Amino acid sequence: MVSFPNLSVLIWLPIAAGIFVLLLGSEGERARRGKVVALVASILTFVLSLPLYSGFDIATADMQFVERISWIAAFEAYYHLGVDGISLPLILLTTFLTPLVVIAGWEVVKKRPSQYFAAFLFLEGLMIGVFASLDALLFYVFWEAMLVPMFIIIGVWGGERRIYATVKFFLYTFLGSVFMLVALIYLYLQAGTYGIEAFHQLPLTMREQILIFFAFLLAFAVKVPMWPVHTWLPDAHVEAPTGGSVILAAVLLKMGGYGFVRFSLPIAPDASQILASMMITLSLIAIIYIAFVALAQKDMKKLIAYSSIAHMGFVTLGFFVVFLIAENAMGGDGARLALQGGMVQMISHGLISGALFLCVGVMYDRLHSRQIDDYGGVVNTMPKFAVLMVFFALANAGLPGTSGFVGEFLVILGSFQASFWLAFLAGTTLILGAAYTLWLVKRVVFGDVGNEGVASLEDVGSREYFMLVVLAIAVLVLGVWPAPLLEVMEQTLGNLLEHVSQSKL
Amino acid sequence: MPDLIPAAAEIFLTTAICVVLLVDAFLEQRHRMMTFRLAMLALIGAALCSAFIVPEGSITILNEAFITDPASNILKLFSYLVVALVFLYSRDYLVRAGLFKGEFFILGLFGLLGVMVMISANSLLILYLGLELLSLSLYALVAFDRESGVAAESAMKYFVLGAIASGTMLYGISVLYGVTGTIGIDGLAEYFAASDALNLPALLGLAFVIVGVAFKFGAVPFHMWLPDVYQGSPTPVTLFVGTAPKIAAFALTWRLLVEGLGELHGSWQDMVIVLSVLSLAVGNVVAIAQTNLKRMLGYSTISHVGFILMGFVAGTEEGLQAAMFYTITYVLMAAAAFGMIIVLSRKGFEAENLEDFKGLNARNPWFALMMMMVMLSMAGVPPFVGFYAKLVVLSSVLDAGLVWLAVAGVMFAVVGAFYYVRIIWYMYFTEPKEAPGLQVPNDLRLVLSANVLGLLALGLFPGALLELCSRVLS
């Protein structure tokens, strides 16, 4: 059956546009043209990604929009793409955020703008490739290739300590990934193909499963990032330019979570079962300890970065608490709730953290400072902005009615079926999260005008207003009516739960 | 009269070299470009011979001393390609540096002939003959810039150490001859296939032979010459030393260890593992401390040799194919990397320090992009071909059940990534120390771009080359 290659277009359109923008160069008029091309290409990609949603059949857990042609015959590797309920929302998140990132950098990026926008277009295509790949080798190629534009983005357009931050980012993630590569090759030698679906069906002994689980864990835990391999994130976030921070927080971190549900859980279900308590402990440390760390931050970006780690802790908690619930065998659908919660949390965190980084970017563009102490009373000079910032802060703290609430609530609800204390500890995040975000808002937005800099602030222009409002609407819609998102994931997650409940031994 | 058609390429090249040598002797300096053109024609002619005249299939001639098989033809074709690249990159540099002499091309072609003889050797004596032909050409090439004291010093080091290694190897060969009574590669294989008892004298010979192989590859702990030679030679010579001889080293290992002494795999496997791991460790770690790019690339070569040797460790067909794939792709990457240094160098200025790459993106974004792709390919980041080279080698090692070796390999690959990435950061994240602008002749720009985009294309579609390697070596 020959059909329109939706996914290929989504991957290669931005990359082709990126090459074009890169070749245009950054001189004079050409830079402006490059920007326009970047914006048009990213919006076009978003528009073209919508048919994925409208044409998605929610009644099946099978892969959809599948494309499969031979790629490297020697390895039985295929150019194999497809989406299911797990990858579809993440792809839409990517295509939705990239135009906003382009808009965010529109007037701000003065240094070699064409290279900046080209890097984001490359990144977009590669990220979609990661989510859409059904062939492990193809997945790995996209996964690693993605490091390069991000490395350049942080290194060229970042803050003062950008080189330290970006090299740390590169080496950390590279180190994590190469172990995954060894695991993937091992699986290939066992299965005779690089197909991810074939890996899912592959019987493995417990020892193999545990080793493979740890190899994957290194790769994914670094990306998520989980405590204690999270230290690259605050550095990378702080030094990255606004657009880089947004993509990093909103999409790159999700790749870790995606990896867990696409690889670790279904390929090594028995190892996941055994190691679930360890994973839950690490998640809880991220949720509670990192939340306290966030409280102590003086730098706005750093605070949001730590809050990201804490929120991503919920994602991993949701994914692994499933195994404890299954052990308790209390029945009910706690496992499904927790898994759904983790997924919703990923999408929601993508939107909210992206928005918060944009907010910080808006302020940074005006005063060139990220220090909380340099602000205060922003509401007096930037009322429109203040409303939006407060809204996103509340969403970050998990206010009911925003998407931030849905994910956390589902995970906590699911955790109750595992153990009361687990749910209780996870629940503390609602308090701690509220504490650090609201305190941030109090110090930055409210109060009297702190200094001359703040007094001279101008409120958001239409460009900034537009991007923040679009995000606010998305956060609100998902918070009030998450059903469309849950529907899409329903079958796939049900299938996954069934798969992990069967031992591979 | 034996049928010499299978050796057509070698015979043609020998004749061609004599012609070039004679013509060059009568040329005035202002007509020297003629030598370059003739040398290129000689390469094209040899390529045509290998591609069309040499019969397909595995044929031995001269009392089984000389062999052509599909793999040898492919290796030779790639050797012509890299030597052509070397000549193309070097011409402009040599003119600017006042080193544009016929000897460079003639010695280069002699070296190539040595490489070809080694590739086609089916007897230890022929193998040694090719090795010496190559080595002597290289010694002379390194000392080719008569004004340079450093070059003379490196040539001396190279010569003395190389002579010792050749002697060691020859001693090993003589021991093997004493034990088996044959110098034919096939004869060796038959002898060891027939006797399964532990043969101590043969192991002694084997150890000496491996020392020779390791030296030619530049594997640790026989690598001492390599960084000095890389740094001390004029860049075009470094380019030559760093490329074609690696194919020869692969051929040497393949003919000797795999074809001849394959039955002793159990005995040499451990030795090769040690060489491989040490090369990875020393190459990658010491490269970090370098400030001279040529020296850094020297250590990086050592680490890549570690990976190539890892392919031999498994002792399987897949492993050998992986080593061949790695060698070919590495040679193409190395050509591009040294080509970059040549591009950035000007009269009286060698762009051989890492500092010279600072802010290259501001001076010339295109070449910065090219260099970035080369470095990423060397670091093994997809979608560049260096990634697949590492992938096939790791696959073969894992297939042999040596998980720890694969893990060691990737660990050192991460260490190595640091110094490649450092070049990228110099080029992109820092500002240039001198005025922007970089004038590059069009032909050089074209060749370098084709070279690097070739690495990218091979990375996006590695299937064809992988298939080729597995077809010719099965």
Largest CA distance in chain A: 68
pLDDT in tens, A373-418: 888 778 888 888 888 888 999 888 888 888 888 888 888 888 888 7
Asked if A45 and A124 touch (Cβ cutoff 8 Å), the reply is yes
Q: Which residue has the higher pLDDT, A244 or B439?
A: A244
Asked if B158 and B139 touch (Cβ cutoff 8 Å), the reply is yes
Interface test with A, best of B381, B385, B398 (most A CBs within 10 A): B381
Please list every residue in chain A whose beta carbon sits closer than 8 Å to the beta carbon of residue B422.
167
User: Hey, which residues does A133 pair with through a beta bridge?
Assistant: A81
Tokens read off for B226: 């390599």
A152 to chain B, minimum CA–CA distance in Å? 8
For residue B80, name the pLDDT band (cuts at 50, 70, 90).
very high
108-137 in chain A: CB under 8 A from chain B: 112, 115, 137
Asked if B421 and A144 touch (Cβ cutoff 8 Å), the reply is no
In three-state secondary structure terms, A78 is strand
Mean pLDDT over each residue of chain B, to the nearest integer: 88
A139 interfaces chain B, CB cutoff of 8 Å: no
Cα gap B332→B322, rounded to integer Å:
16
Nearest Cβ partner for A182 among B372, B406, B429: B406
pLDDT of residue B173: 92
Say if the Cβ atoms of B425 and A73 lie within 8 Å: no
A164 interfaces chain B, CB cutoff of 8 Å: no
Cα gap B423→B412, rounded to integer Å:
18
Please list every residue in chain A whose beta carbon sits closer than 8 Å to the beta carbon of residue B401.
none
For residue B167, name the pLDDT band (cuts at 50, 70, 90).
very high
Across the A/B interface, how many CB contacts are shorter than 8 Å?
Answer: 89
Residue A65 DSSP label: E
CA A129, A131, A135, A141 torsion-angle sign:
positive
Largest CA distance in chain B: 70
For residue B2, name the pLDDT band (cuts at 50, 70, 90).
low
Cα gap B341→B351, rounded to integer Å:
6
* Residue B7 host element (H or E): none
Residues 6+ apart with CB under 8 A from B206: B172, B176, B261, B264, B267, B268
B376 interfaces chain A, CB cutoff of 8 Å: yes
B449 to chain A, minimum CA–CA distance in Å? 14
Q: Which residue has the tokens 């009392």?
A: B63
User: Hey, which residues does A77 pair with through a beta bridge?
Assistant: A72
Say if the Cβ atoms of B406 and A166 lie within 8 Å: no
In three-state secondary structure terms, A66 is strand
A171 interfaces chain B, CB cutoff of 8 Å: yes
Cα gap B177→A11, rounded to integer Å:
60
- Residue A499 neighbours by CB distance under 10 Å: 16
Cα gap B369→A153, rounded to integer Å:
14
Asked if B112 and B246 touch (Cβ cutoff 8 Å), the reply is no
Say if the Cβ atoms of A156 and B429 lie within 8 Å: yes
**Among residues A407, A399, A408, A405, which one has the least CA distance to residue A486?**
A407
Cα gap A45→A99, rounded to integer Å:
9
B411 interfaces chain A, CB cutoff of 8 Å: yes
The helix-helix angle for B244-253 and B293-313 (nearest 10°) equals 20
pLDDT in tens, B138-148: 999 998 888 88
Q: What is the dihedral of CA B167, B171, B173, B175, to 10 degrees?
A: 180
Q: Which residue has the tokens 């920007």?
A: A35
pLDDT of residue B437: 67
In three-state secondary structure terms, B1 is coil
pLDDT in tens, B329-373: 999 999 999 998 888 887 667 777 888 888 888 888 888 889 999
Please list every residue in chain B whose beta carbon sits closer than 8 Å to the beta carbon of residue A74.
463, 466-467, 470
Nearest Cβ partner for B429 among A145, A163, A186: A163
User: Hey, which residues does B66 pair with through a beta bridge?
Assistant: B61, B121
Mean pLDDT throughout B376-386?
A: 90
Q: What's the burial of A160, exposed, middle or buried (CB within 10 Å: 0-12/13-18/19+)?
A: exposed
**Among residues B215, B218, B126, B221, which one has the least CA distance to residue B167?**
B215
B53 to chain A, minimum CA–CA distance in Å? 29
CA A435, A440, A441, A447 torsion-angle sign:
positive
Say if the Cβ atoms of B398 and A182 lie within 8 Å: yes
Q: Which residue of A has its CA nearest to B416?
A: A171
Please list every residue in chain B whose beta carbon sits closer than 8 Å to the beta carbon of residue A115.
361, 365
Q: Which residue has the tokens 């052990």?
A: A327
B383 interfaces chain A, CB cutoff of 8 Å: yes
Cα gap B83→B44, rounded to integer Å:
11
Say if the Cβ atoms of A182 and B394 lie within 8 Å: yes
- What is the DSSP annotation of A391-457? HHHHHHTT-TTSHHHHHHHHHHHHHHTT-HHHHHHHHHHHHHHHHHHHHHHHHHTSSS--SHHHHT-
The three-state (H, E, C) secondary structure of A473-505, written as one string: HHHHHHHHCCHHHHHHHHHHHHHHHHHHHCCCC
pLDDT of residue B27: 86
Q: Which residue of A has its CA nearest to B471?
A: A74
Mean pLDDT throughout B117-143?
A: 92
405-434 in chain A: CB under 8 A from chain B: none
Say if the Cβ atoms of A140 and B410 lie within 8 Å: no
- Residue B136 neighbours by CB distance under 10 Å: 18
> Which stretches within A55-160 are classed as H helix?
87-104, 113-132, 136-145, 147-157
Interface test with A, best of B425, B465, B466, B468 (most A CBs within 10 A): B425
A188 interfaces chain B, CB cutoff of 8 Å: yes
Asked if B201 and B171 touch (Cβ cutoff 8 Å), the reply is no
pLDDT of residue A1: 46
Asked if A256 and A102 touch (Cβ cutoff 8 Å), the reply is no
The helix-helix angle for B70-97 and B463-472 (nearest 10°) equals 120
pLDDT of residue B367: 87
Query: For a pLDDT cut of 70, what percent of chain B falls above it?
Result: 98
Say if the Cβ atoms of B429 and A162 lie within 8 Å: yes
Provide, for chain A, the percentages of residues in helix, strand and coil under a 3-state DSSP scheme, each rounded to the nearest 5. 75, 5, 20
In three-state secondary structure terms, A109 is coil
pLDDT of residue A404: 85
Asked if B158 and B230 touch (Cβ cutoff 8 Å), the reply is no
Q: Which residues of chain A carry a pLDDT beneath 70?
A: 1-2, 328-332
Cα gap A312→A326, rounded to integer Å:
22
- b/e per residue A355-373 (b: at least 16 CB within 10 A): bbbbbbbbbbebbeebebe
pLDDT in tens, A24-71: 877 778 888 888 888 899 999 999 888 888 888 888 878 888 888 888
Interface pTM (ipTM) of the complex?
0.89
Residue A27 DSSP label: S
Tokens read off for A153: 């983005």
Cα gap A44→A273, rounded to integer Å:
43
Residues 6+ apart with CB under 8 A from B412: B280, B281, B284, B303, B306
pLDDT at B423 over 60: yes
A73 interfaces chain B, CB cutoff of 8 Å: yes
Q: Is the peptide bond before A228 cis (omega within 30 degrees of 0)?
A: yes
